[in-house]
Chain A
Amino acid sequence: MKRHWLLAVNSLIVLGCLLGLWQGLVSFNHVKPYILPGPRAVAAAVYDRFPSLMSSLAITTEEAGGGLAASILVGVAIAMLFARWQWVRRTLYPYTILLQTVPIVAIAPLIINWVGPGIVAVTVVTFIICLAPIIANTTQGLISVEENQVHLFLMYKASPAQVLLKLRLPNALPSLFTGVRISAGISVIGALTGELFAGSTQVGQGGLGYAITYANNQMETAYMFALVFAATMLGFTFFFIVMFLEWLALHNWHESKRQQIAE
C-alpha cells in the first residue's frame, strides 16, 4: 500500500518537472504561443473556454462510447453465430478482416454521404473501426473450449443454448475483454477521425476532433493543446473503465488476475 503511494508521488514529481521544463523553455526562448504555447497558456485556454471544451468532450464521449457499445453488442452477437455454425464462420470470417483493412479515412466521407454529417455519422465510423477486434477475440474465446468440457455438457444433455451461455460465453470472457480493451483505445481515435470529416452540422458545436481542426485553422494553438489533452484523457478513461470491468468479471477465477489477489 505504501509503495503505491510512493509511486504516485514519484509520478507527480516527474510530471511537475516536465511541465516546469516545458514552461522554462518556452519563456526563456520567447517561443511564439501559436507555435508552441507553454503549459500556463494551455491552462489559461482550458479555463477561458471551459464550457465549449466540455461540450466538445461530451459530444466525442457520446460518439466514441456509443460506437464502442454498439460494436460490443454487434461483435459479440456475430461471434456467437460464428461459434454456433462453423460454416457461417468459414464463409463470413474473411470479411471481418476487411473491416480491419478498410481505410477508414477513405470511407468516412461515404458514410457522411449516406447518413448525413453529425453525431450519427461519427458513431458509425467509430463502430466500424471498433468491430473487428471484438469479433476476432470473442470468436477465438468461444471456440477454444476444452474438448472434455464440451463432452461434459453433452453427457448432461445440455441444449445448444446452454452450451453457449454456460460454457462458451464464460470461457470467452477473458478474450472478449482483450478485444474490448483494444477497441476502447481506438474508439476515441475513430471518433476524432470521423469528426475531421463530419464533425458538425453547425459551426462551433462539434466534438473534439472538429474543434481541433477549427482551433488549428484559427491558430488557437493553446486551445488545440487543451483539446488534444482532453482527447487523450478520454481514451485513457475508457481504457481504465474497461480494465476495471475486466477485473470485476475475472478476478475471482481467472489465472491472469492471480497477481492482484495475492497482493
Chain B
Amino acid sequence: MHKLKIGPANSFFGFIAAGLIIFIVSSKFDDLLVYQGASVMMFVIAISSIILLTGYSGQISLGHGAFLGVGGYAAALARNNLNLPIIVCVIIGVLAAAIAGALIGLSAARLSGPYLAGSTLALAVGLPSIVNQFDSLGGEQGLFFDVGAPPAFLGEGFSPYRWFFYAATMAMLISVWGIRNLLNSRYGRTWRAVRGNDVAAQLSGINIARSRILAFTVSAGIAGLAGVILAMTLGTVSPGAYPLVLSFSLATGAVLSGVNTLGGVIIGAVTLVAIPEIADSISHRFGGSEVMTTNLPGILVSTLLILTVLFVPNGPVEQMRLTRNKKRAHAQR
C-alpha cells in the first residue's frame, strides 16, 4: 500500500495555509455562523481525541464528556480563584484532564472492549454528581468562566464570538497538527502495533500497559482542551454542559468520521453541529410540536450512527480508500 508521505515541515505549512483559508472564509460569516464554527472546532478537537484513543490505541471510551468536564472546571477554577491569564488556564485545564485520564488509564489498560466501555460510561454518569459535594464547584449552577474581552489589537467593538472562533480555530489547528505528528511518530506506531496484535507487540519489546496508559492520558488531555473551549463559548461550566449525551455524541462523531482516519474528523464535527439545525428545519416544515423538536436530533444522529456501522463501518474516508484500492488492483490484473 503506497501512501503519499508528507514531511512534518510540509504539513506544518499545510496547517498554516488551512488556518489562513479559514480566516479568510470566516470573515464573511455572521455571528451565529461564527459561533457554530467555534462548536465545530471544539468537536474536531474532541473527536480527534477519540480517534486517537479508539482508532489507534484500540481502546474505547463512552465517557469522554467527563474529561471535557474536568478540563473546563479546572480552567474555570484557575481563572476565578487565581485570576491567571487565559492561556495559563487553558494549559491547566489540559493538564488536569490529562492527569484524570492517566488515573483512569491505569485501570483502563487492564480492560478491553465492553468492560472499558461500561466503566467509562459509569464515569461519565458518576462524575457530574460530584459537583454537589464541594461548594467551590458551584453545584448544579456551575461556575462562570469569563475569558475576558478580545485582545486590544483586534480593535474596538470586536465581536467576542468571532474572538472565540479564532481562539478555537487556533487550538484546533495546533492540536490536530500535534496529533497528526504524534500518530506518525514512534508512539503512534506503537499504539497501532498494540491495537493490531498485542501479543506480537509485546514480543517486540513494547510495554503494552504503558502504551495504553499513555494513549489514554494524551487523549484525555486533548479532550480537556475541547472542554475548555466549550466552557469558553458557553461562558460557564456546569454539569449540564457535559451531559452523558455529549459523551455519546463524541463517540458517534468518531464513528461517522471513521475511527482510524484523522482526516475525516471534520465530517463528524460538522454533522454533529448541523444535525440539530437540520432537525429544526424539518420539524418546522412539518409544523412540528415541541416533542418533535426535542427528539428529532437524537433520532437523526442515532439513525445515522446505525447506518454508518452497518454500511460503512470504518468510515467514509476509509471506505473510499478501500474502493479505490480495489479498483486499482482490478485494473492491474
Partners in one complex: no
Which B residues are closer than 8 A to A by beta carbons? none
Which A residues are closer than 8 A to B by beta carbons? none
